[in-house]
Amino acid sequence: RMDQALLLVRNELPAPGLRLAARSGSCHQCLYQFLAFVPPSNGSLTKPGTASVMVDTQHPLTLMLNSSVGDRELCKIQYHFGEFGNYSLVVKALMANTETVSCELIINEGPINSYLPILFAFLVYMGILAVLIVGRLFMKIDPVRNWVYKKLNPRETDRLINSELGSPNTTDSINCDPAPHSWSTASRQRLHSLDTFRGLSLVIMVFVNYGGGKYWFFKHESWNGKLHFPSALFSRFVFIMGTSIALSLSSMLRWGSSKWKVLRKILWRSFLLILLGIIVVNPNYCLKSLSWDNLRIPGVLQRLGFTYLVVAGLELLFTRADSGTWEAPYPALQDILPYWPQWIFILMLEVIWLCLTFLLPVPDCPRGYLGPGGIGDFGKYPNCTGGAAGYIDRLLLGENHIYQHPSSSVTYQTTMPYDPEGILGTINSIVMAFLGLQAGKIILFYKDQHKQIMSRFVIWSILMGIISAILTKCSKEEGFIPINKNLWSISYVTTTGCFAFILLLLIYYLVDVKKLWSGAPFFYPGMNSILVYIGHEVFENYFPFKWKMQDSQSHAEHLTQNLTATTLWVLISYLLYRRRIFWKI
């Protein structure tokens, strides 16, 4: 199977038998897991005792061979097996009548290079990009451009649309001319970098949710771990939602909307997001009526909806229509000082998270436990998955109403249900959105001052990085608070916030400052993000997004299917954009 290799263990020792156990390199402080019993050779070198096992190839393994009598450790080998490889582990005595044992690993058949499909896919997409660049160069030729414009006849679009989580515009002055503008003028006014940022995160999220070619590095970390694509996607989506909140609320208030009217809109959007989320994460609605007995309550859209409600409500409570003209005694802090009550509120929320996480008594678990349970921590706390976060969800929501198959269930063999979108982690998603809100305020306060905006993005990125380094001690497992996406730990928020500021800085510079990139193709799904997200969840198992494979153990086929499905959603969002169809909430 994918991510597996065949290991044949040959026992040439006359007696006794051997016990083979293994531990994954990704499993921190885990118990060794029994794999096979290898019988003795009974003194015959021509017929050694043998046993065949499948071993994992995603991470390095530590193999341990113990004697079946007395459980004496004979040898220990650390090795990273290759996918579909065929290996032999030969165990024999170095000399006659000696207890010194030799364990030799032999490659019978080399593994395949499972990463070649990624290289091929990269070259294909680079080829498409090259064709588009050449086409754009041709468009600079007047006769070609005039002919294309006559055929396409583009219409005004940007003026008529709002992002479903905010309408980021740089022209927020109440004195702006509300009359229709040309296509090109509207495009220049809109901050395409925000839609591009959102669309980039969404496209990668869709690809990962569809399977990511079944590659291990496109899966979420089992528990604590370094950040890669899947681990940071949702947090970036939350971040840019906060940025859009700052700009959209400022725009609505400047155009004369009352706070009560804006509040009703915030409440309605939040309700719809939570309702849609409950429907999406309980797909049996297509087959039969939903049953409360096993209805999952938390989810991605639910957390987005509640986070949006809190952060947008907090911003509405303290924002002013003329906030851009406020004179601060310290100009360097003019995007912070006017909103000191908001910062106090966020700090109080974080204190609540810290107190609940580290002080709440959890039955049969150590106080402040942040581990995965299962076989982690040498199997001492098998039912403590998530510590206080898991306990609160099980207590308030019930075990049947949270996620039943957490990412820790494979590596750490946890049996307790745990929801990565649970109640306690929502506090830190609010903090993440508030960091995005701060990015939006920077754009508002330093409107059209590109150097100021980018320098403050850099400062915030450095600040978040320093906090992360302190909390984690620059270590995966040994920090005060490790980076953990399942828990949405504060170190996870500061680390992903650090990279979110950097990414927004780069996209803002390329798209809105230098205009070296239009934001395509990510700009289009970013304009219809809720439709694309819900659509890819609802139609996940339908053609043409999924089809029966000839070889379900092929990374190439899975990658082809997942990339095709993701590309189709990008094309759909582009067609919807051309036809001015936008699903707003």
Cβ neighbours of 576 (radius 10 Å): 18
Q: Is residue 74 part of a domain?
A: yes
Q: Is 558 a catalytic residue?
A: no
Q: 90 and 237, same structural domain? A: no
pLDDT at residue 229 in the model: 64
Residue 352 DSSP class: H
**Which residue type, as a one-letter code, is found at position 452?**
Q
Domain co-membership, 77 together with 196: no
- Judge if 400 and 522 occupy the same domain: yes
Task: Write out 129-154 in H/E/C secondary structure.
Answer: HHHHHHHHHHHCCHHHHHHHHHHHCC
pLDDT at residue 165 tops 50: no
Specify the pLDDT at position 338.
Answer: 84
Distance CA 476, CA 499 (A): 17
Do residues 303 and 429 touch, judged by C-beta distance below 8 A? Answer: yes
Question: Is 150 part of a structural domain of the chain?
Answer: no
Query: 448 and 345 share a domain?
Result: yes
Q: Give residue 153's pLDDT band: very low, low, confident or very high (50, 70, 90).
A: low
Question: Which pLDDT value is given to residue 226?
Answer: 66
Contact 235, 427 (CB under 8 A): no
Helix (H) / strand (E) element for 423: namely helix 423-445
Q: 384 pLDDT exceeds 70? A: yes
Stretch (H or E) spanning 86: strand 86-93
CA atoms within 13 A on the CB side of 82: 13
> Which two structure tokens, joined as six digits, stand for 293?
């007995």
Distances (CA, A) of 363 to 66, 376, 381, 395, 552: 36, 18, 11, 11, 43
As a whole number of angstroms, the distance between CA 2 and CA 114 comes to: 9
| Distances in whole angstroms, Cα of residue 220 to Cα of each of 111, 114, 225, 438, 465 | 25, 19, 9, 28, 22
**Two tokens at 252?**
């609505």
Phi, psi of 11 (to 5 degrees): -105, 105
Of the three residues 74, 109, 144, the one that is the final residue of a domain is 109
Phi, psi of 24, deg, nearest 5: -75, 145
User: Does pLDDT of 186 surpass 60?
Assistant: no
Q: 343 and 442, same structural domain? A: yes
Q: Hey, is 73 helix, strand or coil?
A: strand
Is the pLDDT at 173 greater than 60? The verdict is no
Q: Cis link prior to 382 (omega < 30° from 0)?
A: no
8 Å CB contact between 262 and 526 = no
Percent of the chain with pLDDT over 70: 88
pTM score: 0.88
On whether residue 547 sits in a domain, the answer given is yes
Amino acid at 258: S
Least confident window among 11-15, 81-85, 382-386, 553-557: 11-15
241: its two tokens:
């939602």
Which residues have a Cβ under 8 Å from the Cβ of 531 and sit 6 or more positions away? Answer: 573, 576, 582, 583
Nearest to 376 by CA among 340, 418, 347: 418
C-beta of residue 523 within 8 angstroms of C-beta of residue 199: yes
Least confident of 89-93, 178-182, 410-414, 527-531: 178-182
Instruction: Give how far Cα 152 sits from Cα of 368, 455, 480, Å.
Output: 61, 40, 58
The pLDDT of residue 290: 63
How many structural domains does the chain have?
Answer: 2
Q: Which of residues 92, 109, 126 is at a domain's end?
A: 109
Query: Do 234 and 345 have their domain in common?
Result: yes
pLDDT of residue 446 exceeding 50, the answer is yes
With bands split at pLDDT 50, 70 and 90, how would you rate the model's confidence at 328?
A: low
**Percent of the chain predicted with pLDDT > 90:** 64
DSSP β-bridge partners for residue 18: 38, 67
What's the pLDDT tens digit per position in 387-440? 999 999 999 999 999 999 898 998 999 999 999 999 999 999 999 999 999 999
* 503 shares a domain with 390: yes
Domain end call among 109, 129, 145: 109
Tell me phi and psi for residue 258, to 5 degrees: -75, 160
Q: Using one digit for the tens of pLDDT, what is the confidence trace for 503-519?
A: 999 999 999 999 999 89
Sequence-distant contacts of 215-218: CB under 8 A, at least 24 apart: 215/114, 215/118, 215/555, 215/559, 216/3, 216/58, 216/59
Q: Which stretches within 446-580 are classed as H helix?
A: 450-472, 490-507, 523-527, 529-538, 555-578
75 and 210 assigned to the same domain: no
Q: Say how far apart CA 96 and CA 101 lie, in whole Å.
A: 10
Query: Would you say 28 and 379 are in contact if contact means Cβ atoms under 8 Å apart?
Result: no
Q: Is residue 166 part of a domain?
A: no
At residue 322 the predicted structure's pLDDT band, cuts being 50, 70 and 90, is low
- How far apart, in whole angstroms, are the C-alpha atoms of residue 310 and residue 427? 10
Rounded distance between C-alpha atoms, residue 64 and residue 282, angstroms: 43
> Helix, strand, coil % (nearest 5) of the chain?
50, 10, 35
Whether the CB-CB separation of 387 and 369 falls below 8 Å is answered with yes
Question: Is the preceding omega at residue 525 within 30 degrees of 0, hence cis?
Answer: no
Amino acid at 501: F
The model's pLDDT over 244-281, given as tens digits with 9 standing for 90+, comes to: 999 999 889 888 889 999 999 999 999 999 999 998 88
Cα distance between residue 146 and residue 238, in whole Å: 41
Output the pLDDT for position 525. 96
Distance, in Å, from the CA atom of 173 to the CA atom of 188, rounded to the nearest integer, reads 16
Q: Strands across the sheet with 33-38, in order?
A: 33-38, 18-24, 61-67, 73-79
CATH number of the domain bearing residue 70: 2.60.40
Mean pLDDT of 74-84: 92
Task: Report yes or no: 222 and 408 within 8 Å, Cβ to Cβ.
Answer: yes
Asked if residue 425 and residue 539 are part of one domain, the reply reads yes
Q: Is residue 52 in some structural domain?
A: yes
Above 80 in pLDDT, residue 360? yes
Note down the domain range covering 401.
192-286+294-321+334-579
Q: Which of 28, 192, 220, 558 is catalytic?
A: 220
Q: What is the pLDDT of residue 143?
A: 83
Tell me, yes or no, whether 506 lies in a domain.
Answer: yes
pLDDT exceeds cutoff 70 at 553 = yes
Give the pLDDT score at 180. 37
**Residue 157 tokens, joined:** 């679009």
Residue 545 lies in a domain: yes
